[in-house]
Amino acid sequence: MLLIAVLMSLAISLLGTTKAKVANRYLYEQAELLAKSGTEYAILAIQGHEINSTTGCLNQINLNYNDTFDINITLHYIGNGLPTANCNILDNSVAFDESNASVLVDTIVQLKDPNLNNGVPIRYVKRTLQKL
């Protein structure tokens, strides 16, 4: 009888651990997909934004997904002859044959409330270099 009770408690314990791991993995995969989508959105937003001395550059994009994840995108420009006003510029003296500019896109996706994941925070970081 004691052996059955021990085995049942072990089974219940493993079931709870597996459930927590599945939830953690699901949220992590969701953060990874949101980082990819956020990066693509940032590139689309840059292409729709005219970079000149009046409007400057698009430097920061902040999004949130279903009140669950914060998505923060920071943009740093590399090129030649970029406007220096209101632009995060890494290097303004690099000339490319294919285009005048590239952008370094840093995308950070964070779980807003770690209690959604049993107190375990989730943070996914993606860095991409994209020609404009």
Q: Return the domain boundaries, the chain.
A: 2-131
* Residue indicated by tokens 């059955």: 4
Q: What is the SS3 assignment for 88?
A: coil
Give this prediction's pTM: 0.80
DSSP-H helix ranges across the chain: 2-47
Sign of CA dihedral 89, 38, 34, 63: positive
For every one of its 132 residues, what pLDDT tens digit does the chain have, with 9 covering 90 and above? 666 766 666 666 655 566 667 778 888 999 999 999 999 999 999 998 887 777 788 999 999 999 899 999 999 998 888 887 788 888 888 876 666 788 999 999 999 988 877 788 899 999 999 988
The Cα-based distances of 16 to 25, 81, 111, 115 in angstroms read 14, 58, 22, 16
Written as one letter, the residue type at 59 is: N
Written as one letter, the residue type at 96 is: F
For residue 70, which of 108, 105, 101 has the smallest C-alpha distance? 108
pLDDT value, residue 90:
87
Does residue 38 contact residue 71 with C-beta atoms inside 8 Å?
yes
> Which one-letter DSSP state was computed for residue 95?
-
